[in-house]
Chains A and B, each alone.
Chain A
């Protein structure tokens, strides 16, 4: 029990020390610009189809479920307001975060974990390369930029899915739906919709990289790191979402 507790605190300490090393070397050469663009492509562009699919259908389902309930109160015309606020403030960032945690987080932890157990990370160090700069910083920068972008796209596609159902099922005209989507939105909502995925992006990649480069125990260890990375990232997103929301409500005075 004591040994496990000690190991847990060492792991937490390593997690934060990795973050400090990334911050410390962020603007120190070499900057690995090309590698960062490659990671932006892998994290952002290659996640786009699954994020698009998830958000489009979520928008449709949200409209379908809430539209019928709102119709009972004669408020189905305002389903666009509910959908836009839900998607931009919560569902867009959270769903994007969970999808990225599953796709990119698992992939990153598995890739770096494999590199660790096959001595590729040691080889990098032996050749005078800092693996944290080359492997972690590039991914973290890419994730911080791309996850908010994915979230914005998810918001847009979710609203598009909602518009489709609102028109097809509840006979709400696209023009009116668009007005109800845009009318309640404030700058604070947009801020919340951008700050959350930015933090989620950092948390997902940071966790995945930490799990990857601390992998031990061969291929079984790689599997364990991958699983832990996805579970921890998902929990951090869901629990973190509450606290981020609370803090943003205080700061933004919503």
Chain B
């Protein structure tokens, strides 16, 4: 099938930094998030798509047509930078009209003003707008030009923490109503999860994985992606086959994933912190938890506003701690958890990741 916007083996170099073989594909109307750590090349990639950087190799296609050598003004791709870039010599309305005058059909200035709720801001100088208002005016300007797709670079970095989540939902709803295709850059996992229907993970200048948000967050494609998602329990060890299946021998404990054994002699496995459950003594253990049950003690507890992290040390382990657990805050009280407390922990088998 033909994608709205796609790149094929895009390559670009600037200083020591390289974008390598980047292939991305956006379907029409999709909200696609480009997720990655700082300096992974996210902004550089956006600028290659926009025509602001000239790639060294590969192709950019819009509706199947090669636009790699088209200048930015002929690409029909909207751009919302981190700082919004509202022209300081114009009012909010002047900024929007700047785009309207050049719009190639579509746009719909009046509809945008109502949908974004910015009709009252038109006469204001841009210096007097709040972060959220600036974002909306910049968005209206971007959409008023009637682009095929819009590219957003960390659009929430200048918005207050408390309004950010509200804006995520509002923005996504606006784009859904307008049927806009979006590619958004972010380094925030939460933002990517909330907004992205599709997510591509960019690390060190290459796209490591593209997929639905469930695929990315449940089945990270490689250990680097898993680490970026904050999954700390990543271990490598030799594969041991036995009558019941196979296991990864990690020295002082073993992980028994479901499914057939991997081809090599060594394997890397990942246990997501949220897939580790605390099991009370004397309570029957479910099948899906029974294969990976560990006894030990809590090495440390780290409470956060919305959850709690615990570090768990397997009995007899030479390390300070072995596994990181993430659970809702109330669990801490229900189990009376404290450092040094002896507990049992089980990994939920279906979600064990094997690389």
> Do the two chains bind?
no
